[in-house]
């Protein structure tokens, strides 16, 4: 992916040096969600029990300010995310104007290292990236890119860009009113029904990520040979069925919250091949 030397975003809130105090909660939707809390926590050997049980005694995820140092890799990851976010801002502003006749209000992306707080709950290396609609911010520990590469087999800079684009896509859903309506219905649904709605939310975000990828190539010429394959591989590696198999489990479709590997790849490609957000209507189809 060609990204060096291009404009970075001003909508980055960098909390990595300050550290933070984690909140033991799992609120928030988007990103890799609850199943990632379980499975990525398992891959990393992290005890995620406080996140799942709501335990708050002793604030177990506290990181004293001043003890977090940024490596050269951290600095470069931050620059990469900033440029990728800037690309999403230009692209979604243009798409909103051209396809919807609306204006786009860009998302703020919070970079953290270790743990941080959000109105949707605590964030740590176990939660993975996520979008919080309560403050309209996306949260990302760039160490997750290493997790993707080393633990999940999703390598490459465009795989990382896909992660950023996916979280931004949840903000796009929020801007369009889709996320709020879907979450309202989920709150009144059974667990199985809520999971099914979550799958449609996530697959739509994958599709919107594909739309972004197509426009990034058209506008910036940023894609290099193999980049789309990197994104496809990332989508495949984080499908619910693949994550469960890799965790030594038999896939249980009723527990899926993000969709199968095949579904995630297919919806990403739907967005990439069409470039039309109207083709990303996962709520209006019987075939996911």
Radius of gyration of the chain (CA): 18
3-state DSSP percent of the chain in helix, strand and coil, to 5: 55, 10, 40
pLDDT of res. 35: 42
Domain ranges of the chain: 12-284
Q: Which residues of 201-212 are buried (b: 16+ CB within 10 A; e: fewer)?
A: bbbbbbbbbbbb
pLDDT digits (tens, 9 = 90+) for 94-124: 999 999 999 999 999 999 888 888 898 887 7
pLDDT digits (tens, 9 = 90+) for 159-169: 888 889 999 99
pLDDT of res. 19: 56
pLDDT digits (tens, 9 = 90+) for 211-228: 999 999 998 888 888 888
pLDDT of res. 2: 75
Q: Could you give the CA distance from residue 282 to residue 202 in angstroms, rounded to a whole number?
A: 9
Burial class from Cβ neighbours inside 10 Å (0-12, 13-18, 19+) for residue 40 reads: buried
Using the structure block, give the residue that is written with the tokens 């060609």: 2
Q: Could you give the CA distance from residue 78 to residue 80 in angstroms, rounded to a whole number?
A: 5
Helices (H), ranges, the chain: 33-44, 49-53, 72-95, 143-150, 157-175, 178-187, 191-220, 227-237, 240-246, 261-274
Reading the block at residue 116, the tokens are 């941080």
* C-alpha closest to that of 182 among 204, 210, 207: 204
Answer whether 0.95 is exceeded by the pTM.
no
pLDDT digits (tens, 9 = 90+) for 235-280: 888 888 988 988 898 999 999 999 999 999 999 999 999 999 999 9
Asked if the model's pLDDT at residue 9 lies above 60, the reply is yes
Asked if the model's pLDDT at residue 30 lies above 90, the reply is no
How much is the mean pLDDT over the chain? 80
Where does the pLDDT of residue 138 fall: very low under 50, low under 70, confident under 90, or very high at 90 and above? Answer: very high
Percent of the chain exceeding pLDDT 90 equals: 44
**Mean pLDDT on 78-104:** 94
């Amino acid at each position: 992916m060609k990204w060096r030397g291009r404009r970075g975003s001003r909508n980055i809130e960098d909390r990595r040096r300050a550290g933070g105090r984690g909140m033991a909660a799992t609120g928030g939707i988007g990103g890799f969600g609850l199943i990632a809390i379980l499975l990525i926590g398992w891959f990393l050997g992290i005890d995620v029990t406080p996140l799942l049980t709501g335990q708050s005694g002793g604030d177990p995820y506290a990181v004293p300010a001043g003890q977090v140092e940024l490596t050269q890799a951290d600095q470069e990851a931050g620059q990469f995310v900033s440029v990728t976010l800037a690309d999403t801002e230009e692209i979604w502003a243009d798409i909103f104007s051209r396809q919807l006749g609306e204006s786009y209000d860009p998302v703020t992306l919070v970079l953290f290292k270790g743990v941080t707080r959000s109105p949707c709950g605590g964030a740590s290396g176990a939660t993975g990236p996520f979008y919080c609609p309560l403050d309209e911010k996306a949260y990302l520990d760039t160490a997750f890119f290493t997790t993707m590469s080393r633990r999940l087999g999703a390598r490459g800079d465009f795989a990382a860009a896909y992660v950023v684009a996916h979280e931004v896509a949840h903000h796009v859903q929020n801007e369009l009113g889709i996320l709020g309506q879907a979450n309202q219905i989920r709150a009144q649904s059974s667990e199985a029904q809520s999971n099914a709605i979550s799958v449609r939310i996530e697959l739509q975000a994958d599709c919107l990520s594909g739309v972004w990828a197509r426009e990034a190539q058209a506008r910036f010429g940023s894609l290099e040979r193999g980049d789309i394959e990197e994104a496809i591989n990332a989508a495949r590696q984080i499908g619910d069925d693949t994550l469960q198999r890799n965790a030594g489990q038999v896939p249980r479709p009723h527990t899926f919250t993000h969709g199968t590997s095949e579904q995630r790849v297919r919806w990403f490609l739907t967005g990439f091949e069409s470039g039309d957000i109207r083709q990303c209507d996962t709520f209006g189809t019987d075939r996911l």
